[in-house]
Structure 1
Amino acid sequence: MRRSTAALLLGSATLLIASVPTAQAQEKVKISRDGFGVPHVEAETSDAVMFGAGYAIAHDRLAAMELARHNTQGRRAELVGAAALDTDKVMRGRKLSDAVLMQRYSALAPEHRKMIRAMVDGINKRIDEVNADPEHLTPLEFVRWGIKPTRWSLAEYLALITAAPLGRDTYEIRNLEFLKAMTDRYGAEKAWQIFNDVVPISDPDSPTTIPAGDDLAPARPVPTPVPAPVQLPGGGVAAAAAQAAPTEPVKGMSRCMVIGPQKSASGNVLMLEATADGPEIHLKGGGFDNAGFGSTGWGVPTMGRGAQHGWLLVSGSSEAGTTFAEKLNPKNRYEYWYKGAWKKMEHRTETFRVKDAAPVTHEVAWTIHGPVIAWDADNGTAYSQQMGVHGRELDTWVAFAEMGRAKNLAEFREKGVDRLGWNLGACYGGEDGTIAYFEAGALPKKAAGVDPRLPTPGTGEYEWSGFLTPAEKPHMINPKQQYFMSWNSKATGWSQEGDNARIGATFRTWLGDRLAKNGQSLTLLDMREFNGKIFNALGAVDRNQAAPDFFAPYIRKAIEASDDPEVKRAGEYMLSFNGLYQDRDGDQKYDNPGLTLYRSWLQVAPKIIFGDDMGDWWKTIDADRYLTYQSSLLLRAFQGDAAGAPLAVDYFGGRDRTAVMIDTIKATLAEVKSRFPGKDMAEWKQPIFWKYFDASLETPDRPQMAEDAPERRLSAVLGLGPTMAPHNGGESWVGLMEIGRDRRALYSVVDAGGQNLFIDPKGKGNPNLADQTLMHETNELKKITLVPDEIRKTAASSMTLEYRPPVR
């Protein structure tokens, strides 16, 4: 039957009307805050929850977010001056273009796109409020920077959450410089012996997160050191240009300790984490019911307490990238040889605006492998960095969201862990008593026949052959020992080290491993005490520290063999030091003079033992590197053939080890004695280290840890919060959990001062600006509950936002 023209037109009109998108109804988003200002965000849908999260985080830390935005755009020098230029150059060179970022975004699932878009909308809602009342709501930092808050584009936010994995540095070029220096001095054979001693591919004595026998992945062979230098362009070992290093210390993420139910007094899993600073939040609705810590601006908790589990993260130490040595065309430095032909680099000149200075230009280039991180044009070489995360930069944000929403271990792994692009170690504890660890991220399968410690020829013969599958990555479920600890550790005995990771027998997990191993019927209070002790061992801020008992057999022999009473006394003092930096009498000096002697000995002894053979390379090989190896190298020297990897070179020059130990103690005595003229050895007490929140207050008689840069908090500069504190040795954020059905809470403390860092244009702070700084110093924790009735009872404030999903 033929339809009439009018009917057809009416039908077309109906279709047209139906195709016009209708505005979705507004959804209410409730934000309740407890007495410490921690926001509890509740809504019906996941995107509405993220809208509230964006608003809450922007409310608390808008200035920190702006600094992060400038940093990820390579524009920080515009705010803080020339000191940020080196970092800006690195970030500008690695930043993905807006077009690429949007491609990555478009590839995400619709729900995840909506969540990220809503996060940006929530941030911008708060910015609109600030700009509507700038006299009262503009953070003081913006006034000092001379800028106004501006709305975030989606691309800018995507750049923020992709920047962390792109900013990871490698040290193949530093290793190459060391090998070249030794080759110039000794020739190839001995140079390689020294290089393998100082930069082992895998030290068999290194502690691992996964105990032997518990790894559920098939073991992979550790690469064998190549017998001769890789032939790089320019012939032999090329002289490498200095690799640009960040101007701020690189900080590895986190340590986690997980205790299984058999070692717990309650039969519940216990979990402890300590990591870098960030705001806290509780998300409820749209599949979320989790509270925790997150990086500034991310919105979703990076780690914390979920509805039926706890999860923690540590930065992994797997080989997740490669530095390639690109062979340059002698006629054109922007062409490199790849698979039999010259290939053009992408390159451009970037201009950097600098506060109180003239603009600066810098050249940025990319090869097929990734951004060029260093040039050695005189030797026809450029070095580019390929990262496994490339192409999966947004997956880490999605993984964080799904790890928090997981309803069981299978979901946690499949939707969360397996989605991670960045190399992280994921620690899990369930209400059912399951504990697990997964080494995660895009981990490449590297070519055979290359040394992972050195740049790989980029001519095409040594490309990656793919990535490890989830089953191939190290992982364990319910280890036999019923506990585990990771602190940027090697995952397994077959894991590599020597590039990003510098582990060894004296690695900083020594104390946590001992506490967890010996602990029985443990409680949350025990775990809190463990945290305080681990703080005091200084592993978070001085990665070369180790307990003197590692060296006890060799110090004891020196005490017995020496006829010098000062050597005997100094040795006894060193052995009496338990590895903890404690000032129990409050005199602002560490209690044990053995601490002073031992700390100095760790620097004096390797200089005496290794200095003649390699100069300062025993130490400078680790300059700017987060994890250092000197104390493990020193231990291997004294262990001799008893070391898991005996040193190939006799750095004692044929001398008896005990005699050398005596000499190092004598040299230590001379160095320390000069700092305490006229005082008895019992009075050689090291002044305590301080943590400065206002760098201008640092004084010689109040030292800070060399590895710990002052934070320069605006609250401290303005006198709105503590300006300094005795250094407890700890990381910025601490989280502690008992994973039981009746224990749905997170106990935590934030060292940055508080949840809300807002200071108004007139220099007035808020009640939560510095309310946790002293709590952190004394290892006190607050409670963040997930129980609705408790949230309502403890709410100090509450507000409701209207969220209307945009029609796009």
Structure 2
Amino acid sequence: MRALTLLLSATVLSATAFPTVAEQVRIDRDAMGVPHVFGETSAAVLYGAGYAEGQDRLADMEMSRRRALGRTAELLGPSAVASDIISRDRMLPPAELLRMYRALAPEYRRMMQAYVDGVNRAIDEIAADPARKTPYEFTQWGAKPERWSLLDYLQMVAAFPRDREGNELQNLAFLNAMVARYGEAKGRAILDDLVPPSDPDSPTAIPAGEDLAPARPMPKATYLTLDADKPGAPTAPPSTSTQDHSRCLVIGPQRSASGKVLMLESTADGPEIHLYGGGFDSSGFTGPAWGVPIMGRGPHHGWLVTSGMSDSTDYFAEKLDPKNPYRYWFDGRWRPMERWQETIHVKGAAPVVHEVAETIHGRIISWDKAHGVAYSARYAQRGHELDNWVGVVEMQRARSLQEFEAKGIAALSTDFGVCYGDEQGNIGFWETGLQPKRAPEADPRLPTPGTGQFEWQGFLPLAERPHMLNPKQGYIHAWNSKPTTWSREGDEGRFGATFRTWLGNRLGAASHGTTLLDMADYNRQIWNAYGARDRNQTSPDFFASSLRAAAQAAHDPEVTQAVALMTSWNGLYEDRDGDGAYDNPGLTLFRAWLQIAPDMIFSRDIGDWWKTIDEKRYLKYQTSFLLRALQGPAAGRPLSFDYFDGRPREAVIADTIRRTIEETRKRFPGKPMDAWRTPIFWKYFTDQPDEPGRPSLPDDDERGTTTWAKLGIGPKIVPLNGGEEWTGLMELGSAAPVLYSVTEAGGQDQFIDPAGHGTPHLTDQVMMHVDGRFKAIEMDPAAVAHDRVSSVTLTYRH
């Protein structure tokens, strides 16, 4: 059946044709290698984009393509099989992709095909001169660049960006463990403590009273079960690491020195591009094989995109037929799952046959056959994945705020947090995407019974999704934030009072007469707070009153000194005197205390769940959970369980400080407490062991490797400034538009030839990023032509 579907798909694609024409496309490159693509039509511009990105990032694009198709094991061997299985479980059938593709307007279809044609032109040039033009990574993989099909590109667009994965099975395992230990009532109370449906102290991207959508009541959380006994200990599905670190800070005209909107964005690494023509006049950051800027600016407006945190994925618990585990109960009868096999070819090993199963809700992502249950994942965007591409295209082509919302925001199916600004002085924020209306009884923290009684009841219309325009506070700060006070959390989103937006919100609230240089310094400070690298970090002043009360009650000079040092630290990782150690010893003590205190307070009662509950989540809650415990009744949502076991809070806190002193002293033998200064952390671009005296950040899940560092043609380590990879700055006004940006992971052109020689732009931004310096990407065509270092004109025949 699936072979027939693939044959049908190929036939449909080959029959898709447009009149044959020849168009000129010019690609100018500036001094930093950024391509500026000029064409008369949108298709011509996308052809040039595909060609330029194929030249710069073909190895990255190839890996992205194979991740989307579940084919990385063909290059990487057995270690990649698990990730390929995840991709096969989530891949869309070709027929479904083609249905979405055929529903697009003809211009969008032409643009997509043109991008693929541009990539293939770059690949054809490699095939004509493989000894010089084959990217080094392909020689290491033992593979040749393969031409792309339109279906390949559609799968990549559908796979990125992906809705957030659910965490219901981790939550259920925790609940079951607590119920087994304490009984139903107390077990549920502990779940509500550690995984609250909503923490009222969580900061929100949209301030209270500013949401233009009607507030929705917080439904009462109900633990729904199947007809049979509760599932035992479900196995959490495998997952890939999701780095949701996009951040935006928008300063409105009343707070800026020029009276114009200022915008700041930081996110993951990716190529940059400037498109001009066919309705495009935009520059910004894009992803591997995306083609158009995902975030950036036009001549009159800017748009910044973060991963949203409205829960748009649910796991459904499917009740299995005791006689046949491939049948499930839905709407009063047993139904067969749709099943097929996927063969994963593995470099250096035998092929792996993987069985995929699907119910009416979605693909099975975990089995618990012993308890007669399987878990399927339902994604709100399913069937609308290509709409995201359309939305991104129209956000940058919009000529007004109204067009931006009606053509761009309205098209997005995935959950994003989108920040906006324009030269008229408007600023705005939207939590986008298809957001399900759940059954009133459903608790989205836990799997929903899939028997038919608790189905989704449609999606929120655009007007009812969280959004705001021109907030009274005069700024917007979002960092994968909780959107509104009425938004639920506890499945994927994990926030609390200490959430990492603390510094950006303080800077925004204090901003006055702000300039672009001030924005660059705001970015430096936010980087130095390490919220992008360690989601348990926060400012000590959240805990200051509890720590000082404990010190006062303890009558212990060492405790008093430790508290004074911790509360004197401003939360920034700074080495202003350049001696290789962070300036304030309070940093050392506070970092240690944030791990020791929750272990001492919570482990007796709930084991290590206080931290393991968030192992698969990018955003961590343990610091806010600790704060709620220390605040007691003063917390916005007080804990219902006594984790202090009847002891006075101040006494327990004092004990945690003493343990912190005891453990930290071992690292600094013979030194007084005020000399306990932590050596600065370093960013490693390879997987080599840490060098003595130059440690990497412990448990840094952002650590990765680069080919250029392994080959020794770029730095292997640099001082860690705590920031994300790509950062962009802009001021929206009447002057010629410019985007200021920098990327940590190297430069624009990541090509390395088969002999291991890189381009001049391979690592030309690494130290710029370390120092917080930015380059300028001109957008005015005359300025681009004046400053260009190279230019090529292509003919696109189609």
Smaller-chain TM-score bracket: over 0.9
Cα drift, residue 712 of structure 1: 1.3
Cα drift, residue 562 of structure 1: 2.2
Partner Cα separation in structure 2 for residue 320 and residue 85 of structure 1: 27
Q: Does 1:243 align with 2:237?
A: yes
Q: Does 1:479 align with 2:471?
A: yes
Cα drift, residue 24 of structure 1: 3.6
1:498 aligned partner: 490
Q: Does 1:771 align with 2:739?
A: no
Cα drift, residue 22 of structure 1: 9.4
TM-score, normalising length from structure 1?
0.95
Cα drift, residue 624 of structure 1: 2.3
Counterpart of 1:354 (choices 321, 346, 359) is 346
Q: Does 1:91 align with 2:72?
A: no
Q: Is the 8 A contact 1:265 1:521 kept in 2?
A: yes
2:296 aligned partner: 304
Deviations 1:679-707 (A, max 9, x none): 22122111222211111243464332213
2:748 aligned partner: 755
Q: How does 1:363-762 map to 2 (within 5 A)?
A: 363-699=355-691, 701-705=693-697, 706-762=699-755
Partner Cα separation in structure 2 for residue 217 and residue 23 of structure 1: 45
Q: Is the 8 A contact 2:163 2:312 kept in 1?
A: no
Partner Cα separation in structure 2 for residue 471 and residue 439 of structure 1: 11
1:331 aligned partner: 323
Q: Is the 8 A contact 1:234 1:381 kept in 2?
A: no
Counterpart of 1:199 (choices 195, 201, 219) is 195
Cα drift, residue 553 of structure 1: 0.4
Deviations 1:581-604 (A, max 9, x none): 111222222111110100010010
1:27 aligned partner: 23
Q: Does 1:110 align with 2:103?
A: no
* Equivalent position SS for 2:316: strand
Change (3 A) 1:311 1:381: same
Partner Cα separation in structure 2 for residue 233 and residue 284 of structure 1: 60
Letter in 1 for 2:180: D
Q: Is the 8 A contact 2:330 2:452 kept in 1?
A: yes
Q: Is the 8 A contact 1:51 1:118 kept in 2?
A: yes
Q: Does 1:782 align with 2:778?
A: no
Q: Is the 8 A contact 2:163 2:415 kept in 1?
A: no
1:9 aligned partner: none
Cα drift, residue 364 of structure 1: 1.4
Quote the sequence identity (%).
55
Partner Cα separation in structure 2 for residue 535 and residue 356 of structure 1: 42
Letter in 1 for 2:101: Y
Letter in 1 for 2:750: L
* Equivalent position SS for 2:543: helix
* Equivalent position SS for 2:385: coil
1:231 aligned partner: 225
Q: Is the 8 A contact 1:233 1:381 kept in 2?
A: no
2:64 aligned partner: 68
Q: How does 1:136-155 map to 2 (within 5 A)?
A: 136-155=132-151
Counterpart of 1:49 (choices 28, 45, 49) is 45
Letter in 1 for 2:138: F
Partner Cα separation in structure 2 for residue 793 and residue 464 of structure 1: 56
Q: Does 1:270 align with 2:262?
A: yes
* Equivalent position SS for 2:48: helix
Provide the aligned C-alpha RMSD in A.
Answer: 1.3
Q: Is the 8 A contact 1:538 1:581 kept in 2?
A: yes
Cα drift, residue 356 of structure 1: 2.7
Letter in 2 for 1:202: S
Cα drift, residue 352 of structure 1: 1.9
Letter in 2 for 1:231: T
Q: Is the 8 A contact 1:256 1:271 kept in 2?
A: yes
Letter in 2 for 1:105: Y
Partner Cα separation in structure 2 for residue 413 and residue 22 of structure 1: 30
Q: Does 1:173 align with 2:169?
A: yes
Cα drift, residue 362 of structure 1: 2.2
* Equivalent position SS for 1:300: coil
Q: Is the 8 A contact 1:317 1:423 kept in 2?
A: yes
* Equivalent position SS for 2:619: coil
Cα drift, residue 488 of structure 1: 0.5
Partner Cα separation in structure 1 for residue 189 and residue 736 of structure 2: 54
Change (3 A) 1:633 1:178: same
Deviations 1:640-676 (A, max 9, x none): 1111101101111121111111111001111111222
Partner Cα separation in structure 2 for residue 625 and residue 223 of structure 1: 24
Partner Cα separation in structure 2 for residue 110 and residue 23 of structure 1: 12
Deviations 1:342-398 (A, max 9, x none): 111111232222223332232211111111110001101000000110010001011
Q: Is the 8 A contact 2:736 2:780 kept in 1?
A: no
* Equivalent position SS for 1:652: coil
Q: Does 1:285 align with 2:277?
A: yes
Q: Is the 8 A contact 1:258 1:272 kept in 2?
A: yes
Cα drift, residue 80 of structure 1: 1.8
* Equivalent position SS for 1:27: strand
Cα drift, residue 743 of structure 1: 4.7
Partner Cα separation in structure 2 for residue 232 and residue 787 of structure 1: 62
Partner Cα separation in structure 2 for residue 413 and residue 741 of structure 1: 23
Worse-matched range after superposition: 755-764 or 743-752:
743-752
Q: Does 1:802 align with 2:795?
A: yes
Cα drift, residue 710 of structure 1: 3.0
Partner Cα separation in structure 2 for residue 119 and residue 374 of structure 1: 37
Partner Cα separation in structure 1 for residue 721 and residue 576 of structure 2: 12
Q: Is the 8 A contact 1:320 1:387 kept in 2?
A: yes
Partner Cα separation in structure 2 for residue 238 and residue 323 of structure 1: 16
Partner Cα separation in structure 2 for residue 499 and residue 216 of structure 1: 25
* Equivalent position SS for 2:248: strand
Q: Is the 8 A contact 2:212 2:467 kept in 1?
A: yes
Q: Is the 8 A contact 1:230 1:237 kept in 2?
A: no
2:55 aligned partner: 59
Letter in 2 for 1:430: D
Q: Is the 8 A contact 1:261 1:269 kept in 2?
A: yes
* Equivalent position SS for 1:243: coil
Partner Cα separation in structure 2 for residue 124 and residue 172 of structure 1: 42
Change (3 A) 1:182 1:295: same
Worse-matched range after superposition: 560-569 or 276-285:
560-569
Q: Is the 8 A contact 1:94 1:167 kept in 2?
A: no
Q: Is the 8 A contact 1:239 1:379 kept in 2?
A: no
